[in-house]
Structure 1
C-alpha cells in the first residue's frame, strides 16, 4: 500500500514537471516567434521607411527650432500667417449660415412697407431668394473663404442643357457670377447691400444734390437745436403777440 502511494506521488510530480517543461518551451517558442516577427517587420521595407520618415520629421523640427531662435522676426511672421490661416479656415461661413442670414435679411425687409425700404437692398435680397427657390445657388469653399454664385439650371432638372457637361458654365465665368463672399462669419456683399435698408432713395431723387445726402450734426448743432426746442415752449410776450 505504501509503495503504491509513493508511486502515485511520483507519477503526479513527473506529470507536473512535464507540463511545466512544455509550457516553458511553448513560451520560449512564442517569444522567439514574436521576436523574429518584430525583427522582420523592423528590418523590412515598411520599417525602414517609417524610421527614415521619423528621422526626417525629427530633423525638420530641430531645424525649425534652431531657425526660430536665430530669426525670431521671421518665425513670428510665419506663426502669425499660420494662425491667421487657421482662424480664417474655421471662421468661414457655410451653406446653413448663408440661408440663415438670407432669411433674417428678408424678414427685416418684410417688416417695412414698399415705400420705406431701399430699392437696392430689396432687389438684391429678392434675387437671392428667387435663385435659392429655383435651386440655382451654389456655395464654393476656397479654404479661407466661401463664395456664393449662381448657375443657369438646377442640377435635378432633366433638361438637356442642365445635364450636358459641355453646356455647363465654365470655371472662368464664376467670378462674373459671384453673388456673395463669406469671410470671418460674415457675408460681406449681403451686409453692404443691407446698409440703410430702411431708407428709400427714390423719395429723395428729386431733391438737389446737396440735400440728398445729410451728415450727422456736430456738438454745436445739437446744442443749438436743443436751445431752439426749449425756447419754442416758452410763452410769447404780450407785445410780440400784438405785433
Structure 2
C-alpha cells in the first residue's frame, strides 16, 4: 500500500509539473518581446476598428448602404472588365458579320472602323492597357518587334498626353462600347438613302397594331378561298370590265 501511495504522489507531481507553464519557455519569451507587443497592439487596433465600423453602420444605415453599393459596383466592374482576348474575339466576330454581307448592303461606317482595327492588329500596332475598373485599346506608331531606332528608343515614345487621341475603344462592364456603337445597324447602307428627302430617311419601328394587322393579313393569305369569295371576286371583275368597255367604245366611235 505504501508503495502504491508513493507511486500516486510521484504521478500527480509529474502531471502538475507538466501542466504548469515554464517561465523561461520560448513562447513566453516571444510574447514578452517587442515583436509580440507590436502584434498584440496591432490586433487590438484592428479589433477596435471593426467594432467602430459595426457601430457606425448600425447608427448610419443609409450611408453604409451607399458605401456598400459603391464598393459592390466597383467590384462588379473590376471582375467584368474585358481583356485583350475578349477584344480580339469581338473584333473577329464583327469582321465575320460584315463579311457575310454584300458591299452594297453593309454600313460604310461599320466597315471602315472594323477594317482599320483589323489592319492595326495585323501590323501589331494595337495596345491594351488595364486601368482597374476599365480597359483601353489604343494605337501606336510601331510594332514592339520592330528594330527601328524610333521604335526602341524610350525617349521617342508616345507621351501620355497624346493617349486620348489614340484611344480606339473602351472596355467596361464586359462590353467594348465604341465597337458596339459602330456596329449598330451594320447591315444598313446609308449611301443608298442619301438621295431621299430628310423625312423619308428616318424611319420609325411599326406599332403593335400595325404588326398585328400585317400578321393577320399574312395568315389570311394562306387560307383557301371559298365559293362565295370566288363569286364576289368574279362579279367585281365583271363590273370593272363593264365599266371599262363603254369607255373604249366611245373612244372608238370618236
Give the TM interval when normalised to the shorter protein: 0.7 to 0.9
Residue-pair matches, total? 214
| SS of residue in 2 equivalent to 1:56 | helix
Map 1:1-243 → 2, pairs under 5 A:
36-222=25-211, 235=233, 236-242=236-242, 243=244
CA-CA distance at 1:219 after TM superposition = 3.9
Tell me, in whole angstroms, the C-alpha distance in 2 between the residues paired with 1:134 and 1:86.
35
- TM-score using structure 1 length: 0.79
CA-CA distance at 1:49 after TM superposition = 2.3
Tell me, in whole angstroms, the C-alpha distance in 1 between the residues paired with 2:206 and 2:99.
31
CA-CA distance at 1:165 after TM superposition = 1.0
CA distance 1:227–1:76, shift in 2 (3 Å) = closer
Tell me, in whole angstroms, the C-alpha distance in 2 between the residues paired with 1:163 and 1:199.
43
More moved, 165-174 vs 222-231: 222-231
In structure 2, stretches of 5+ residues that fail to align are: 1-13, 245-254
CA-CA distance at 1:222 after TM superposition = 4.5
- Name the counterpart of 1:18: none
| SS of residue in 2 equivalent to 1:237 | helix
CA distance 1:57–1:240, shift in 2 (3 Å) = same
In structure 1, stretches of 5+ residues that fail to align are: 1-23
CA distance 1:95–1:226, shift in 2 (3 Å) = closer
C-alpha offsets along residues 63-95 of structure 1, whole Å, 9 cap, x if unaligned?
000000100000111111111111111000001
